[in-house]
Structure 1
Amino acid sequence: MDTIISNIQDFMPYIVIAFSAIILLLLILIIVLFRSLSKVEKKYRKLMRGVNNKNLEEHVISYLDKIDEANKTSEAALEHCSVIEERMKGCVQKVSMIRYKAFEDVGSDLSFSIAILDDNNDGIILTGIYSRNDSTTYAKPVDKGISRYDLSEEELTVLNQAINRVNIH
């Protein structure tokens, strides 16, 4: 036993230096761990801000409920848009007009034809014929792009122009 103690005493300065180095390394490690812990604590506080006596799970669930509610509202809005889009097909969407001289002895392009159609090419053609003594306006119905009445050249032109208009939905 005396030999062990004398050997330890011989190496005592080296043992003290080794333990001092270990203690210094442990102190550095503790400082690094405290800094990391401080960063984690800041992130935790940032994550938990605004949470009054609720745990994080309840907070996340409340946000998920809000997301579900927003999705339902969005689906309802899309459905409503579909209904409106379907109803709009019956509204005036295609219009074409032409002015022309119906008679050679009248000086200006005062006669006109207007085609007013919906998305299904249903609607009317309005024609106004101007002459020196008279002015006449009449309408012809259009069903799926076809009129059951005879159409003049100008009326056919405005009808075809209106039918060929591109609707952007």
Structure 2
Amino acid sequence: MILSQKTTEILIFVILTLDVLMLVLSVWLYIKYKKLFRGKKASDLERLVMSYIQDISLAGNEIEKIKNHLSDLQKQADGALQKFSVKRFNPFEEVGGDQSFSFALLNEENSGFVVTSLHTREGTRIYAKSIQKGKPENQLMDEEKEVLKEAIDKN
């Protein structure tokens, strides 16, 4: 393939321009390299790199400690009472008002307790019933069943 003189001149100009750009880039990189290593000995650079490696290792250890602590906190949170429901009611017609109540407190596994306060003319009685994984250990009244279901349904 034979190129015309004009095409050859354009190609030479483009190649020379690229050569000049490459030369400028090389000089710029050389200057940056010299600035980076100015006054530094190989032992200084090695010490600096080793210091960075040690810092990274310490940071990794701290991250592991934080992960373990977070895991412990999650276990504690799972055991904490997180779900709550309350209902006021009137169990006896002779006593006016909704002065009696039941409430349920459950953890993430739906274990906890239901407390009921029954108010009568003679006094107030309070009952606590244990709940294990959503199942009561004792017979529950309707109101207690209701607050237990509401607490279990909460996320």
Question: So what's the TM-score if we normalise by structure 2?
Answer: 0.70
Runs of 5+ consecutive residues of structure 1 not aligned to the other structure:
1-28
CA distance in 2, matches of 1:118, 1:42: 61
CA distance in 2, matches of 1:131, 1:97: 19
2:153 matched residue in structure 1: 164
**Larger-gyration structure (1/2):** 1
Question: Over residues 107-163 of structure 1, what are the superposed CA-to-partner deviations in whole Å (9 max), with x where a residue is unaligned?
Answer: 322111011112221111100011233211111111111112111111011101111
1:69 matched residue in structure 2: 58
CA distance in 1, matches of 2:83, 2:37: 58
Match of 2:124 among 114, 135, 141: 135
Deviation at 1:40, TM superposition (A): 5.8
CA distance in 2, matches of 1:88, 1:82: 10
Which one is further off, 53-62 or 77-86? Answer: 53-62
3-state secondary structure, aligned to 1:55: helix
2:95 matched residue in structure 1: 106
Q: Give the counterpart letter for 1:155 in structure 2.
A: E
Q: Give the counterpart letter for 1:64 in structure 2.
A: I
State the superposition RMSD in angstroms.
2.8
CA separation of 1:40/1:135 partners in 2, compared to 1, >3 Å: closer, same or farther? same
Runs of 5+ consecutive residues of structure 2 not aligned to the other structure:
1-19
* Number of equivalences: 133
CA distance in 2, matches of 1:104, 1:158: 21
Alignment map for 1:1-169 (pairs within 5 Å): 41=31, 45=35, 47=36, 55-166=44-155
Deviation at 1:90, TM superposition (A): 2.1
Question: So what's the TM-score if we normalise by structure 1?
Answer: 0.65
CA separation of 1:38/1:144 partners in 2, compared to 1, >3 Å: closer, same or farther? closer
Deviation at 1:85, TM superposition (A): 1.4
